[in-house]
Amino acid sequence: MNYRDLLLEIGTEEIPSRFISPALSAVSEAAAEEFKAERLTFEKIQVLGTPRRIAIIVRSLALKQEDKTEEFRGPAWGSAFDASGNPAKAAKGFARSKGVEVEALEKRVVGEQEFAVAVVRQEGKDTREILPGLLGKVARSITFPKSMYWDSTFNRFARPVRWLLSIYGEEYVSVEFGTVRSDRFTRGHRFMGQKKIEIASVGEYLEKLHDNFVIADPGKRREKMLSGVSAIEKEIGGKAVLDRDLVEENLFLVEYPVPFYGSFDQSFLEIPEEVLITSMKNHQRYFPVRDGAGALKPFFIGVSNNRATNMSVVREGNERVLKARLSDAAFFWAEDQKVPLSAKVDSLKKVIHHEKLGTVFEKVAHVRELCGLLCGKLHLSKADTRLVDRAVYLSRADNVTDMVYEFPELRGVMGREYALRNGEDPRVALALYEQYLPAFSGDKTPSDVIGAVLGICERIDTITGGFKAGLQPSGSQDPYGIRRASRTVNEIIWGVGMDVNVAEMLELSSENRGLSQEDRDAVLEFTHQRLHNQLREREFSHEMTTLAISVTGSRPMQTLRFLEAFREIQGADWFRGLIISAVRVRNILQKSETSDHVLDVGLFREDAERELFEAVDSLSIQVADAVNSCDWDRLTKILAKLEPFITVFFDKVLVMDKDELIRNNRIALLERCNRLFETSGDLGLLKT
């Protein structure tokens, strides 16, 4: 056997759960890279991790490096050896520097010349010689979002490294990290396992850990955790809400998952479920439980890291903690409703939104003005316009409620809930929640136009306000969330299907915020660039996106529809043909010295000329019409009609006729074509 398995375990104090997964990928990538650089082959790397250990098992790692042959070019052959083949000083020196005999130098022709070449064969070293340095390097290469030092060597890791274990087959590998040196031991579960466990071979590592209540393989641990959760689901007749991030977090908070459940008083269910869920998830990492109809049940499922002597002690302790948290929430819920939301608006005058941009109240006033303008542009009904205005007025009132002070992530939700109980219009209440959508990439967009208008205007104001305050993004910095705001405006427009002219709204908002001309230009340039990027992410080509924006201007909904219409015809032969013709038109016109030639129908000599002229003449109006009415499907159909005429023209007609009059007349015809392309978008920009 020419290979063995390798184990490296880095034993630590409890690493933050969110760091572990990324660290596992990093360590496996770093190891693979190091092995490759050292010419060590292996079958695969298995990653293992719990809060107290980051480990890899490398399967079938070669016993020895692969041999290596390298060739080095030395002096010219003529100066290395004399005519009778005796080596000169240059040859001897070169051979010595490469560690080969001078007789072993070979003659090679490179280009026109002959050179002396040293062929150096390096035999692969024993893997065991390489591992100590290599593994130390791998361990030190792991970086974390936040790291610390703890001893006099100032080495950094997420939390202190306390032990190291490395075995290659059945031999220990000596590895160091700071003051820690590898030994023969691992450690079991903090409370259920042995403190010191001797591991004699890679093969017994996982098994011995398992005997000591550590499931090091995250996949197996997840399985065990989830099967425990489903057993509980059956027992209590409900369905756990298994939020992906929360599952992941719980997984990396334990070495040995012991799911358990507890209950809380039915009366707490009168509080909005988002509040209960936030209390359970964010503070306690519990999974909430729903019944068959989707309603919350008065249960929670937690994941203990210990199979306690008596799990009911763990359950009762957790129930007491949750009860205290929910009692707090119930108190805020009651307290907040003593005054209606509308009565809280005034106190926003005392809340600073941003030191350079004044109070929240002022911010809302800016957004309110924009909302009024946008309602007009969108021709919303009077009734809808009134609802938008009410929603924007109340939009930040929940920021000063006790509940949102306690749980900032519940803003919007609390606005909706309190508004409903205050007897506000349900669409206003919904808008208070939907103004924050989409909350993350891929999230849903508002379902109603009221929240959509509010959401768009709030972000437009954020963009211009940010530029006004000098908070524009640079590099990876975006202190005021302007990139996000810009992106979200487009997401809402596309999600809801609203034909908003963003540039126009930005101009109005810039006016409102008193931006300099320079800043206004920067705002437009910035948002234009964002739109371009977002469309590129949707897999539209750079050229197509540029073309679409040039035709539709700053109306993201039209830009997207234009691109979708053109995506349909992208593969068609006629479209490729049309692009080729457009490129030719472009090239010819660029070369012709003069422009504004007068077209004279009388100078046509060929049918193809006359027919192209007639086609362009009648289709130009149709193209303009389709563009004005944003009917992009129709535009593609018109272009399809044009294509045969222009293709035949280039087939049959030589533009550069010897007769200057005829030549200029043909150029004039192409100028007509070009004008049509200017309306429909310069197809000559596209690559075929």
Name the residues that contact another protein, by CB under 8 A: 13-14, 16-18, 51, 146, 148-152, 159-160, 162, 190-192, 253, 258, 284, 302, 304-306, 308-310, 313-314, 316-318, 320-324, 327-328, 331, 350-352, 355
Which residues, including other chains, have CB under 8 Å from residue 509's CB and lie 6 or more apart? 366, 370, 457, 460, 461, 463, 464
Question: Are 141 and 30 a contacting pair, CB within 8 Å?
Answer: yes
Query: Which residue blocks in 237-310 are alpha helix, DSSP H?
Result: 244-251, 273-278, 284
Residue 327 Cβ, how far from another protein at the closest point, in Å?
Answer: 8
**Least separation, in Å, of the C-beta of 255 and another protein?**
11
User: What are the Cα distances from residue 547, in Å, to 148, 522, 528, 682, 686?
Assistant: 51, 21, 13, 7, 8
| Burial (0-12, 13-18, 19+ Cβ within 10 Å), 369 | middle
Question: Least separation, in Å, of the C-beta of 309 and another protein?
Answer: 5
Residues 6 or more apart whose Cβ sits within 8 Å of residue 528: 549, 554
Q: What angle do CA 104, 108, 112 make, to 5 degrees?
A: 155
| Alpha carbons 635 and 612: distance in angstroms, whole number | 18
DSSP conformational letter for 43? S
CB of 356 to another protein, least distance (A): 9
Q: What DSSP string describes 75-112?
A: EEHHHHB-TT--B-HHHHHHHHHHTS-GGG-EEEEETT
Half-sphere exposure of 152 (CA within 13 A, CB side): 1
Q: Closer to another protein at the Cβ: 275 or 437?
A: 275
Q: Which residue has the tokens 């600073």?
A: 352
C-beta of 190: minimal distance to another protein in Å?
Answer: 7
| Cβ-Cβ contacts under 8 Å for 30 (sequence gap 6 or more) | 137, 138, 141, 142
Q: How far is the CB of 371 from another protein (least distance, A)?
A: 26
The single-letter code of the amino acid at 8 is L
d(CA 684, CA 687): 8
Residues present in the chain in total: 688
Cβ proximity to another protein, 323 vs 567, nearer residue: 323
- Give least dist CB 400 to another protein, A: 12
Residue 27 or 322 with smaller CB distance to another protein? 322
Beta bridge partners of residue 68, listed in sequence order? 122
Q: Which is nearer to another protein, 140 or 190 (CB)?
A: 190
Nearer to another protein, 306 or 622 (CB): 306
Distances from the Cα of 242 to the Cα of 226, 230, 281, 286, angstroms: 9, 11, 10, 10
Our CB check for another protein shows the closer of 314 and 463 to be 314
- Minimum Å distance from CB 478 to another protein? 20
The secondary structure element, H or E, covering residue 74 is strand 68-76
Residue 302 or 465: which CB sits closer to another protein? 302
Closer of 108 and 162 to another protein (Cβ): 162
Kindly state the smallest distance separating residue 235's Cβ from another protein, in Å.
19
Smaller CB distance to another protein: residue 323 or 484?
323
Q: Compute the least distance from the CB of residue 503 to another protein, in Å.
A: 33
Q: Which is nearer to another protein, 411 or 666 (CB)?
A: 411
**Closest C-alpha among 682, 504, 526, 670 to residue 588:** 670
Pick between residue 191 and residue 595 the one whose CB is nearest to another protein.
191
Tell me how far apart the alpha carbons of residues 146 and 156 are, in angstroms, rounded to a whole number: 9
Tokens of 520: 């206004």
Give whichever of 81 and 252 is closer to another protein, judged by the CB atom.
252
How far apart, in whole angstroms, are the C-alpha atoms of residue 276 and residue 257? 24
Burial of 84 (0-12, 13-18, 19+ CB in 10 A): exposed
C-beta of 312 vs 516, nearer to another protein: 312
Smallest gap, in angstroms, from Cβ of residue 406 to another protein?
11
Give me the least distance between CB of 58 and another protein, in Å please: 29
Closest CA to 51 of 221, 199, 245: 221
> In the complex, what is the shortest distance from the CB of residue 144 to another protein, in angstroms, rounded to a whole number?
10
